[in-house]
Amino acid sequence: MGEGKEFEHYKFVADKGQNPLRVDRYLQNFVEFSTRSKIQQAVKAGSVRVNDLVVKSNYKVKGNDVVTVVYDFPQQKNELLPQDIPINIMYEDNDLLIVNKEAGMVVHPGFGNYDGTLVNALAFHFQNLPNMGEEDRPGLVHRIDKNTSGILVIAKTERSMTILAKKFEDRDLNRKYIALVWGDVKQDEGTITGHIGRSLKNRKIMDVFPDGEYGKHAVSHYKVLERFGYTTLIECKLETGRTHQIRAHFKFIGHPLFNDEEYGGDRILKGTTFTKYKQFVHNCFKICDRQALHAKSLGFAHPITNKEVLFDSDLAEDMKLLIEKWRKYANHQQL
């Protein structure tokens, strides 16, 4: 780091009850879209301080420690780089786009993901898309997780953005997701209710607070589409739109999404101890190497014509293969 003034980019105060945790892992929990390698680079550069002292990656953060990340340049918005990245456009008119996002694509730039995102692609293919407030996220009305595939609506004009944003705020739309979850979900239909907020232990994931003492009100309705014994295929309709809502709610009721690394679904949670079964599940993990979640459909009143529209997308190929593999396994077990 060069001499001169330093600028604080991040500052966190560890909770009083913080269990000792390596500073690189601690920051990975708190800095959105960060990776451990990016954080370790910052540590090696002397940019990570604890209580104003430069530390190494293996420093253990304790209760009340003040963790800061400083650089010799001010924090500023990164200039959005238009990139010629293909987009799967399902529908387009003068006011909006419907995009079927592939799994693995980040929706908008953030720490460690400054390019290669859907927004970078939109900036290349479309000129003068509107922005929500001062955020440099042209056209973006809502988002889905990096490793979730499926439908997104993009606004092309200021008017459509304002109206669509209000629809999401007022829950005046119809969103359905398809997910494969661990376990045999008992009820054919059900509703999960519980406030959702940032985990108090890991800021990169969300927790459910059933007593409403923290977080925001969240409601998910589901119905079982197919049962495979050790996993269940479900359709989920969102009444609210909280971050990681489906992932957090289904973990809360004991049915994490299949292969959801952040919510504990990336290990064998149900089934037998037989070696062949273990190999079968690990093969399934390879087929769909992300949480098995797809934003299937989106319906709303068109922001300009006010006519009801409904857009439906095909399941991502990896989820199709995963479901078929579980279906064959379940049928074989019944023979």
- Mean of the pLDDT values across residues 194-204? 85
Render pLDDT for 29-64 as a digit per residue (tens, 0 to 9). 877 667 778 888 888 888 899 999 999 989 999 999
How far apart CA 39 and CA 114 sit, in angstroms, is: 15
Tell me the β-bridge partners of 191. 221
Q: Which residue has the higher pLDDT, 86 or 169?
A: 86
Query: Cβ contacts of residue 332 below 8 Å, gap of 6+?
Result: none
Render pLDDT for 115-167 as a digit per residue (tens, 0 to 9). 889 999 999 999 889 987 656 788 999 999 999 999 999 999 999 999 999 99
Query: Cβ contacts of residue 327 below 8 Å, gap of 6+?
Result: 226, 228
Q: Which residues carry out catalysis?
A: 145
So what's the pLDDT on residue 203?
Answer: 73
So what's the pLDDT on residue 4?
Answer: 52
So what's the pLDDT on residue 78?
Answer: 57
User: How is domain 7-71 classified at the CATH fold level?
Assistant: 3.10.290
The single-letter code of the amino acid at 126 is F
Render pLDDT for 265-309 as a digit per residue (tens, 0 to 9). 999 999 999 999 999 999 999 999 999 999 999 999 999 999 999
Range 89-170 has CATH code 3.40.50.720: no
Q: For residues 21 and 60, is the Cβ–Cβ distance under 8 A?
A: yes
Q: Is the pLDDT of residue 334 over 90?
A: no
Q: Is the pLDDT of residue 76 over 60?
A: no
- Mean of the pLDDT values across residues 255-259? 98
How far apart CA 311 and CA 99 sit, in angstroms, is: 10
Domain boundaries, the chain: 7-71, 89-170, 174-334
Candidates 228, 125, 239, 244; CA nearest to 171 is: 239
Q: Fold match between 89-170 and 174-334? A: yes
| Average of per-residue pLDDT values in the chain | 90
Range 174-334 has CATH code 3.50.50.60: no
Q: Where are the alpha helices (DSSP H) in 145-215?
A: 158-170
Q: Is the pLDDT of residue 199 over 60?
A: yes
So what's the pLDDT on residue 134?
Answer: 54
- Winning range, highest mean pLDDT, from 71-80, 110-119, 239-248: 239-248
